[in-house]
Structure 1
Amino acid sequence: MERRREKPWEGEVYESTFPWLLEWRARTQPGRVAFRWKRYGIWRRYTWRDYYLRVAYAALALESLGLGPGDTGAFITFNRPSWVIYEVGVQLLGGRAMGIYRDSLSDEVGYLLDSGDAKFVLVEGQEQLDRVLDSGVDVDKIIVDEAKGLHQYRGMVGSKIVTFGDVMRLGRKLYSDGGDQKVKKLMGELEPDMVCGLFTTSGTTGLPKLAMISFKNMLAMAYQLNTVDPVREDWEYVSFLPTAWIGEQMMSIPYHMIGGFKVNFPETPHTLWRDFREIAPHFMFSPPRIWERIAKDIMARVDDADPIKRAAFRLAYKIGYEAARRRLVKGRSRPPTLWRALYYLAYWLALRAVLDKAGLKRIVRAYTGGAMIGEDYVIFYHSLGVNLKQIYGQTEVAGIAVVHPDDDVRPDTVGKPLPLTEVKIAEDGEILMRSPAMMKGYYKNEEATAKTIVDGWLRTGDVGVLTEDGHLKVLDRAKEIIVLSDGTKVAPQVIQNKLKFSPYIGEAAIVGSGKPYLAALVNIDFEIVSRWAERRRIPFTSYSDLSQKPEVLQLLKREIEKVNRRLPEKERIRRFVSLFKEFHPDDEEMTRTRKLRRMVIESRYAGLIEAIYRGDEEYELTVTMKLEDGRRVQVTRRVKIIDVEG
């Protein structure tokens, strides 16, 4: 059936598809800018009409090359127009898009290509091309966006390997030869309930599963978010998070198509923050690690500033902190009049300049999700004037289910359920959810689907509580809760987040299951600690060397003792180790979204953990590290085990 109504969907906007919405915007707002891409130092504009035509070209070319309804088109790429054009082109054909993290190694690439039955794959350049070829999985076509170095693959170029430019040229020719009628036919064959993508779960407790998400699922999430937090079409957004992550997907495609704002793609990963500051977006969504990084950079810049600027910032921040503390409480959406006036002065005295340098001065709404963020960070950003709001959700509900309303932000909760979302707490404390954004199931995994969706409710695996006024508090993953030897239950993520508010601590893993007290395995923040060491003329050669310096160990001890003073007795850290290597996804200690894999860490560092609880003062630690080329090397070094007061 051909759909050419003014709005090509019936009922609410989420009863639609991405291609329908794109065609509607191209028809009603053909000259309005949809996105920009910085190329060779110049921001290139793409209107909604440009976007639609390029998606039509991609779909026609992909179909002529052999992709069809129900096929999977994978992609491994940085944030750039080719990604969204390819993805929506695959979906216009009735296919499924599947993202793979750009830094995935060949074995991970192979696992996902095989699990998702990928037929085509778009890669950014030679590095990702090699990983697909080395994965051991045979796909029909590999489409390369950056065509540099393809002379090395002469036997495959033009057959198995094609460039994205060639795909676009082929599609343009097919469109001019009557393909526009074919595109209309393809549009008419789509339905809102069709699966549009396979999205990887975080995989904190094992291999990632593939959630089957429909157009309606994605658009229902975006519709609900836009109902609570409506965006304006003249707002700017910078796309820079991993394209495979549901968080970036939901912002750059469904939310973009419903909200109509401008999406900006940075030139390269290396120019990201410079490009970000140039755009100065109106809203932003990032996982906690990004907000932690920005905060630590601000703290470091303040420490490096001259005494007058440092004093001005600290005075302004203190005023901002007191104003934020008085606002971020139940029943109050604004601080008292006196503190509003004082904050206004503090903003123009020092805070505005800090926000400008961070690219945050135009931020109206800032979201954090994907993992828990420490309460300290929420207060820190509100003290600066950044409206940082927590969201809660999972891949299985298209990313977002709960968010803070603008007038009811609280550091200790993740907000209230979206309008069409229901949340309840099971008898064992597990958070259960249901909404029109809930996935259709896991791809080729009925057993896991049956365990996760029970009586129409999604079992999240997280433990939490609902407040009397409907806010959700998330404690931790049910499987992450630590039970001490006396039966005390501890949510380690809360303590880890408090530790990571220190600018000197990059990551921390709390251990202590079945033990009498808690201990911590700590990664230093190399960038911040190296600056600290240089100012004190402490010599070092590498991360490994710096992490074991006696002065650094004492620094970490002081920071942990500060945290201990704010924790209940049973939740205090009694001993810690500064590791000589960072936790890393390549070593399976973290997911690709940088969530700790606790079971892997406890197994990998079992000998060290036992030494901590034996009372040893040092331990010879041997770890196996995986290099980018797949080789594994063993590294051995003696580490100190430090006692902590407080």
Structure 2
Amino acid sequence: MREFTNPAVATPPPVGGLADAVFDNARDDARHVVFGRKGADGRWRDVTAAQFRDEVQRLAKGLLAQGVRFGDRVAIMSRTRYEWTLFDFALWTVGAQVVPVYPTSSAEQVLWMLHDSGVSAAMVEHEDHAMTIGSVVDRLPQLRRLWQLDADAVGELTAAGEHLDDEVVDRHRRAITPDSIATIIYTSGTTGRPKGCLISHANLMFEADTVIARWDPVFRRRRGDEPATLLFLPLAHVFGRMVEVACVRGRIKIGHQPNLNATALLPDLAAFRPTFILAVPYIFEKIFQAGLRKAERSGKDGPFEKAVDVAVRYAEALEAKSFGRGPGPSAALRMQHQLYDKLVYAKVREAMGGRVRYAMSGGSAMDRRLGLFFFGAGVSVLEGYGLTETTAAITANPPERTRFGTVGQAIPGTTVHIAEDGEVWVKGGNIFQGYLNNPKATDETLHEGWLATGDLGSLDEDGYLTITGRKKEILVTSGGKSVSPAQLEERVRDHPLVAQCIVVGNDRPYIAALVTLDSDAVEHWLAMREKPSLSPAELVRDPDLETEVRRAVVAANTLVSQAESIRTFRILAHQFSEEHGLLTPSLKLKRKAIEGVYAAEVEALYRS
């Protein structure tokens, strides 16, 4: 199949903007709980639709009083927290355009984004962020205001706007139209300077309303079991922003968690008890590996592995049945599944709060077997695919017919097309408006409503998309063999000891790889084998560990021909990090930067 179109189920309203939902919610059901907010004492407190509306309105007045005007661009640099969402909707209420900035961004990255977008004001989370902007402020002549959340920016602005009437805010809100720009989100910049994607109110409304309507089982209200999600994705990323907007428009309770590490996240999942979560594959990998390590420490790794096998086979049987290709799980398999549900699967669900039945995954590819395991364990992980330019998801797996290992079908109201060279082209109401200050890049990407994604993929007979690599990342060996590194890297990463893998070989005689290690997994691996703790330099030379990584490479090589296989590899002592400029804020590999920093190691891979 070369093209798949999914009929629309939602259209953006002909008038108004994103902030209208806040005021409509309060008018229609003032006491409905729309947020859970964690206090300094660690307790979660409810925020009603009326309370949120009032906070948004007061903050919007303050922004107007402090000089923010319709069409102004205002940056937000913070981790995921309630105040980010509050600022988003207050800024959208007065017609401002929000420029999100990753809290880990360097001074030079901040300078580029704030200068390119011409922001007139910025809100930061704490003093470190303020100092980052302060270090480049002399090169930002348009920046007039800087507020700091941890210095009571909300209170300061609220007080500043007390003298203004509500009508002043309402006039600004009524002036917003669906085609007004809501946000400028900068791409991660794996191959150059980030580009500012112009995303309209209509783009976000179309995306959010489509997701809520089509994936109704995920968001449906049940008596005594109101839908809720804990948002821990970065709000600087388009996926997190779409979730934020969808929850407000769908009147779904949302909580915020700023820390992605398990120590902070797991207790909040237990306390907030979401009904669904939205995450990247890394989170599901960590949950699975934590369960496996716990089983190994207690000497129950055999039963755990058996439980995994049962879950996978059970899920495969359900998957086949949903496509009319099988009768479903056998009676014997159902009995085994029921046994392990009490012993293993319930504990996996409990780690996510106990109420989660659905999850959405994006950002990178999820291993098919991992998706099957979670489905068999009672959590349906719906994998999707999208870009900043598509306002998050352009494809996603439907809940009733999930095909694991794919990124699903085009979401309703969109079309996916595979070009002659294998590139994925898409069109629909969620396609962005172009790149800020970059007509050349816009013309290269947008073609009469079609977006050329730069990704390579294929559609199966049912219109399910599989992403096979990036067009610009195709390696060509000196022998002329074209190799897509993505599937090799993902399969190597499936090994629990591997944190990252980058495949090299452009203009080289064969394919090779650099591999980094997961420190937690390695520590557990050493303890289980009663090995002494080793320094990073000692670890990379450990023959047993090298054997484990070699197994991962051999498994990856089964996916490709001999000419495309990884011939040799090197284990590195340290992981690639954003701090050292080797990862984007969304954790994508910066290939050129990595190959530059590790040029000596790459050369060593090709010495005879």
Length-normalised TM-score, structure 2: 0.91
Q: Render the CA deviation track for 1:521-559: whole Å, top value 9, x for unaligned.
A: 001001110122234343346545534434432332233
Q: In 2, distance between residues paired with 1:598 and 1:456?
A: 30
Tell me the residue number matched to 2:6.
none
How far is 1:240 from its partner?
A: 1.1
Question: Conserved in 1, the CA contact under 8 Å of 2:220 and 2:227?
Answer: yes
Return closer, same or farther for 1:141/1:543 CA change in 2, 3 Å cut-off.
Answer: farther
- How far off its partner does 1:348 sit? 1.8
Equivalent position to 1:494, from 487, 493, 496: 487
Q: Letter of the 1:99 partner, please give it.
A: P
The alignment status of 1:379 with 2:372, answered yes or no, reads yes
Aligned residue identity for 1:266: Q
2:463 to 470, 474, 479: 470
What is the CA–CA distance in structure 1 between the aligned matches of 2:490 and 2:476, rounded to whole Å? 19
Question: Match of 2:230?
Answer: 238
Residue of structure 2 in register with 1:205 after alignment: 191
| C-alpha separation in 2, matches of 1:321 and 1:362 | 21
Match of 2:145 among 141, 145, 170: 141
Deviates more, 1:86-95 or 1:358-367: 358-367
Q: Which residue of 1 aligns with 2:552?
A: 559
Summarize the Cα distance change of 1:362–1:490 in structure 2 as closer, same or farther, 3 Å threshold. Answer: farther
Q: How far apart, in 1, do the equivalents of 2:98 and 2:565 lie?
A: 46
Amino acid across the alignment from 2:344 = A
2:107 corresponding residue in structure 1:
106
Check conservation: 1:312, 1:349, Cα contact below 8 A.
Answer: no
Q: Match of 1:354?
A: 348
Partner residue in 1 for 2:82:
81
Instruction: Report the secondary structure of 1:373's partner residue.
Output: coil
The CA distance in 1 between the partners of 2:172 and 2:501, in whole Å, is 50
**Is 1:117 paired with 2:118?**
yes
Structure 1 CA distance for aligned equivalents of residues 92 and 327 of structure 2:
44
**The one of 583, 597, 606 aligned to 2:590:** 597
CA contact (8 A) 2:12 2:202 kept: no
Q: 2:314 maps to which residue?
A: 323
Alpha carbons of 1:315 and 1:539: their partners in 2 closer, same or farther (altered >3 Å)? closer
Given that 1:429 and 1:463 are in contact with CA atoms closer than 8 Å, whether structure 2 keeps it comes out as yes
Q: CA deviation at 1:13?
A: 4.6
Aligned partner letter, 1:322: R
- Is the contact between residue 494 and residue 552 of structure 2 (CA under 8 Å) also seen in structure 1? no
Q: Distance in 2 between matches of 1:465 and 1:180?
A: 52
Asked whether the 8 Å contact 2:349–2:356 carries over to 1, the reply is: no
1:260 counterpart residue number: 251
Task: For structure 2, list consecutive stretches of 5 or more residues without a partner in the other structure.
Answer: 1-9
Name 2:29's counterpart in structure 1. Answer: 29
Partners of 2:561 and 2:529 in 1: CA distance: 34
Asked if structure 2 preserves the Cα contact closer than 8 Å seen for 1:476 and 1:492, the reply is yes
Distance in structure 2 (CA, Å) of the matches to 1:549 and 1:134: 44
Structure 1 Cα separation of the partners of residues 360 and 33 of structure 2:
24
SS of 2:424's equivalent?
Answer: strand
Matched residue SS, 1:248:
helix
How far off is 1:512 after superposition?
1.8
User: Secondary structure at the residue paired with 1:576?
Assistant: strand
1:174 aligns with 2:175: no
Shift of 1:342: 3.3
Residue 243 of structure 2 aligns to which amino acid in structure 1?
A: M
Equivalent residues of 1:522, 1:579 under 8 A apart: yes
Work out the CA distance in 2 between the residues paired with 1:31 and 1:524. 49
Q: Which residue of 1 aligns with 2:60?
A: 59
Give yes or no for the alignment of 1:289 onto 2:282. yes
Q: Distance in 2 between matches of 1:518 and 1:273?
A: 39
- Count the aligned residue pairs: 584
Which of 152, 155, 172 matches 1:186?
Answer: 172
Match of 1:174, SS state, is coil
Q: Distance in 1 between matches of 2:535 and 2:37?
A: 36
**Deviation of the 1:251 alpha carbon:** 0.2
Match of 1:164 in 2: 154
Deviation of residue 587 (structure 1)? 2.3
| One-letter amino acid matched to 2:26 | A
Q: Quote the Cα distance in structure 2 between the aligned partners of 1:403 and 1:554.
A: 37
Shift of the alpha carbon at 1:12?
4.9
Q: Which whole-Å deviations, capped at 9, do the CAs of 1:180-217 have from their partners, x for residues lacking one?
A: 12122122111111001001112111111110101110
Does residue 242 of structure 2 align to residue 250 of structure 1?
A: yes
SS of residue paired to 1:401: strand
2-structure distance, mates of 1:214, 1:360: 35
Which stretch of structure 1 is more off in the superposition, 12-21 or 109-118?
Answer: 12-21
The alpha-carbon distance between structure 1 residues 249 and 504, as it changes in their structure 2 partners (threshold 3 A), is same
| Structure 1 residues 284 and 101: alpha-carbon distance in aligned structure 2, compared to 1, 3 A threshold | same
Structure with higher RCO (Cα < 8 A, 6+ apart): 2
Q: 1:376 to 1:511 in 2, by over 3 A?
A: farther
TM-aligned CA deviation for residue 520 of structure 1 = 1.3
- SS of 1:146's partner is helix
Contact kept? 1:286, 1:369, Cα under 8 Å: yes
The answer as to whether partners of 2:198 and 2:435 remain within 8 angstroms in 1 is yes
Alignment gaps of 5+ in structure 1: 1-9, 148-161, 616-646
3-state SS, counterpart of residue 441 of structure 1? coil
Q: Secondary structure at the match of 2:575?
A: coil
Of the structure 1 ranges 93-102 and 378-387, higher mean CA displacement relative to structure 2 is found in 378-387
Shift of 1:581: 1.8
Query: Structure 1 length normalisation: TM-score?
Result: 0.86
Distance 2:318 2:488 in 1: 24
Stretch of structure 1 that moved more, 459-468 or 309-318: 309-318
Give, in angstroms, the shift of residue 424 of structure 1. Answer: 0.8
Deviation per residue, 1:55-75 (Å, 9 max, x gap) = 111111111111111111111
